């Protein structure tokens, strides 16, 4: 067994996918469902099959095994995905299995360089040179435990420390890492981060992939400096602290979203772990989807996001923008504004974590927050001002698709703005798509004859049925009139070639239409009793054989009529003898059991 097969045999795809997507088991079946991480959806169309160790989305047609899933969601190569899984689950990867791919080696080196940088910054902060930075953190209320857990550090002021420690990787990788910059006016390199408090940024697997650096000197600009994008860091996809926050977020169906690193650390160290921050950027669609994967299972259980941005004008603009992004993904939104214009970490230090928790639990809905903003912007005493307020609210309101939530919003908007509720309902109706015009795409497998569909379902769900049917087909061949002939032939070829049956291997041998049919029948709701699956499969197979013979017989009769009409009596007699022989051979089978 090679390492790839060993890895697959020791891991469960439900556990691997569940690291990224919140899955729910479908009754007692081996099927698990969740919201697809590869496209936007409100109703789950993403399935994971624990028996076949296979995933499939019926919305975007993403599919594959656990390695393919990691490749797609992490944006890694095949070998990088193997290494990620082997590291995460403690399965040693043999040296001979390590990749020769230059791209994979480059990314491995970048991960190593960032880990070296993180350790270097930690050493600096804990050494003599870190006294001022430690004093700043102490004044901000960061505990020694949080300092260690978040791996906070200090960038050396001279600007050559990382250049020296990373020079063995070579100039090209040093520059590609984003940690080192090339001098413009002369030759040589210098550390990008100098005399800054360093916040390591991790990917969802917990590896350091970038840094945020806060200036410590009063004249140092900018106040915050972030890593540029690299091969391992795409800032629009990454949320600060997500790898720590997701466990509690899944338990509570709620995520707290803040702006800054210190906000996230202050809330987390107080015991509220389901908190993330955008990494020095405005919130993006990709970051919202990362949150949604952790807290949402279905449209009815969409999960809550509590937005707690800074109370200044920039924070208000960020809150307004985040509302539209979160609504577009169907999430429930509450807006937390702390009294006294306090930042979250400052508020918790002054008032305590219980006071913060109470405010977060009772935070008003996004609509009430937006309505309050509208009332301060527009003259609510005039008709023109009320219309302007409604136009301000409408871009967010029209993103709400849930009918019950819309009905509640109609009453709230009417009450807040003094607008006739019927006018608001009419606005919603005009904005809604014509549901009768939306064409539902039927499952491809519904076009397959019932006996063929049942036969394939049986052999996909039962190993005994599969063994019996393939033995039967191996002896007599696959009936030529089957719509699914290529699928059964592919299974036979796998068996004859000595390949063990896996759904991934089968799918790889099929054309797109057959791939979809296999996927649909694997994840179908109808359950087949394992004990009767073999009997059902053989019964279907014999019925299909009889239909094949009947079709041949009917074709012969039509041919006999045609040659008789053409006056070819000798040919007609020969075909009649062939038909009679066929009927004599089949008469005992007709009279016997099926």
pLDDT tens digit string along 218-273?
A: 888 899 999 999 999 999 999 999 999 999 999 999 999 999 999 999 999 999 99
Alpha-carbon distance 59 to 29, whole Å? Answer: 21
Does domain 444-591 fall into CATH 1.10.860?
yes
Q: Are 143 and 348 in contact (CB under 8 A)?
A: no
Residue 593's pLDDT is: 38
What's the average model confidence in pLDDT over 340-356? 92
**What are the tens digits of pLDDT across the range 143-170?**
999 999 999 999 999 999 999 999 999 9
Q: Above 60 in pLDDT, residue 437?
A: no
Q: Above 70 in pLDDT, residue 315?
A: yes
Residues constituting the chain: 594
Half-sphere exposure of 90 (CA within 13 A, CB side): 0
Residue 536's pLDDT is: 87
Which helix (H) or strand (E) is 371 found in, with range?
helix 366-377
Residue 179's pLDDT is: 98
Residue 304's pLDDT is: 93
Share of the chain above pLDDT 70, in %: 93
3-state helix, strand, coil in the chain (%, to 5): 55, 10, 30
Nearest-5° Cα angle at 169, 163 to 170 = 80
Q: Above 70 in pLDDT, residue 5?
A: yes
CATH of 107-231, one of 1.10.3720.10, 3.90.980.10, 3.30.465.10, 3.40.50.300: 3.90.980.10
Mean pLDDT rounded to a whole number for the chain = 87
Give me the DSSP letters along 271-324.
T---EEEESSS---HHHHHHHHHHH-SSSTT--EEEE---SSHHHHHHHHHHHH
Residue 358's pLDDT is: 97
Higher-scoring residue by pLDDT: 439, 434? 434
Residue 298's pLDDT is: 59
**What are the tens digits of pLDDT across the range 396-405?**
888 887 778 8
Residue 185's pLDDT is: 80
Q: Above 60 in pLDDT, residue 351?
A: yes
Q: Above 90 in pLDDT, residue 128?
A: yes
Q: What's the pLDDT band for 124 if we cut at 50, 70, 90?
A: very high
Residue 587's pLDDT is: 53
CATH of 3-97, one of 3.90.580.10, 3.40.50.1820, 3.90.1660.10, 3.40.50.1380: 3.90.580.10
State how far the alpha carbon of 305 is from the alpha carbons of 147, 253, 257, 299, 362, in Å: 26, 9, 7, 14, 13
Residue 419's pLDDT is: 84
Domain layout of the chain by residue ranges: 3-97, 107-231, 237-363, 381-437, 444-591
What's the average model confidence in pLDDT over 78-103? 81
Residue 472's pLDDT is: 85
Q: Above 90 in pLDDT, residue 132?
A: yes
Overall CATH class of domain 237-363: alpha beta
Residue 326's pLDDT is: 92
Residue 64's pLDDT is: 95
What's the average model confidence in pLDDT over 487-510? 91
Alpha-carbon distance 83 to 93, whole Å? Answer: 7
Q: What's the pLDDT band for 434 if we cut at 50, 70, 90?
A: very low
What's the average model confidence in pLDDT over 536-560? 81
Most confident of 259-263, 430-434, 476-480: 259-263
What's the average model confidence in pLDDT over 555-567? 82
* Residue 238 DSSP one-character state: -
Q: Above 70 in pLDDT, residue 300?
A: no
Alpha-carbon distance 589 to 537, whole Å? Answer: 18
Q: Above 50 in pLDDT, residue 379?
A: yes
What's the average model confidence in pLDDT over 175-195? 93
Share of the chain above pLDDT 90, in %: 49
């Amino acid at each position: 067994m090679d390492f790839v097969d060993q890895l697959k045999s020791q891991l469960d795809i439900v556990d691997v996918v569940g690291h990224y997507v919140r899955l729910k088991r479908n009754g007692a079946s081996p099927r698990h469902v969740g919201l697809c991480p590869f496209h936007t959806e409100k109703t789950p169309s993403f399935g994971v099959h624990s028996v076949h160790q296979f995933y499939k989305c019926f919305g975007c047609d993403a599919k594959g095994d656990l390695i393919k899933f990691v490749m797609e969601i992490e944006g890694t190569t095949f070998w990088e995905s193997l290494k990620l899984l082997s590291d995460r689950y403690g399965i040693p990867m043999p040296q001979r299995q390590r990749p020769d791919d230059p791209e994979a080696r480059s990314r491995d080196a970048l991960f190593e360089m960032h880990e070296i940088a993180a350790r270097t910054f930690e050493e600096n902060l804990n050494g003599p040179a870190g006294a001022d930075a430690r004093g700043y953190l102490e004044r901000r209320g960061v505990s020694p435990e949080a300092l260690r857990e978040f791996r906070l550090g200090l960038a050396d002021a001279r600007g050559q420390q990382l250049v020296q420690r990373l020079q063995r990787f070579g100039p090209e990788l040093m520059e590609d890492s984003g940690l080192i910059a090339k001098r413009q006016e002369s030759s040589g390199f210098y550390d990008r981060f100098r005399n800054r408090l360093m916040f390591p940024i991790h990917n969802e697997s917990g590896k350091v992939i970038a840094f945020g650096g806060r200036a410590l000197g009063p004249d140092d600009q900018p106040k915050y400096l972030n890593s540029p994008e690299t091969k391992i860091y795409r800032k629009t996809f990454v949320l600060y602290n997500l790898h720590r926050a997701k466990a509690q977020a899944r338990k509570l169906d709620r995520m707290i979203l803040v702006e800054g690193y210190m906000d996230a650390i202050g809330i987390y160290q107080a015991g509220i772990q389901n908190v993330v921050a955008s990494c020095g950027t405005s919130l993006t669609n990709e970051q919202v989807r990362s949150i949604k994967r952790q807290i949402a299972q279905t449209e009815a259980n969409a999960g809550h996001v509590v937005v707690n941005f800074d109370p200044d004008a920039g924070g208000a603009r960020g809150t307004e923008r985040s509302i539209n992004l979160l609504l577009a993904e169907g999430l429930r939104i509450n807006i937390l504004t702390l009294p006294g214009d306090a930042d979250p970490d400052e508020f918790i230090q002054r008032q305590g974590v219980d006071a913060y928790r109470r405010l977060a639990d009772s935070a008003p809905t996004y609509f009430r927050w937006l309505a309050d903003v509208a009332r301060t912007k527009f003259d609510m005493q005039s008709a023109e001002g009320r219309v302007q307020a409604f136009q301000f609210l409408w871009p967010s309101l029209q993103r709400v698709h849930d009918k019950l939530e819309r009905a509640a919003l109609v009453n709230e908007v009417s009450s807040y703005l003094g607008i006739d509720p019927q006018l608001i309902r009419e606005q919603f109706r005009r904005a809604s798509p014509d549901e009768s015009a939306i064409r539902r795409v039927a499952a491809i497998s519904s076009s397959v004859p019932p006996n063929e569909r049942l036969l394939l379902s049986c052999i996909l769900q039962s190993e005994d049925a599969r063994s019996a049917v393939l033995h039967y087909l191996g002896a007599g061949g696959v009936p030529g009139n089957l719509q699914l002939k290529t699928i059964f032939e592919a299974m036979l070829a796998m068996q004859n070639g000595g390949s063990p049956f896996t759904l991934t291997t089968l799918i790889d041998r099929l054309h797109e239409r057959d791939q979809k049919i296999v996927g649909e029948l694997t994840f179908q709701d109808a359950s087949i009793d394992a004990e009767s699956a073999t009997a059902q499969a053989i019964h279907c197979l014999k019925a299909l054989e009889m239909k094949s013979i009947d079709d041949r017989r009917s074709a012969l009769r039509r041919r006999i009529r045609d040659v008789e009409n053409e006056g070819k009596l000798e040919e007609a007699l020969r075909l009649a003898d062939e038909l009679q022989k066929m009927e004599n051979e089949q008469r005992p089978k007709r009279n016997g059991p099926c």
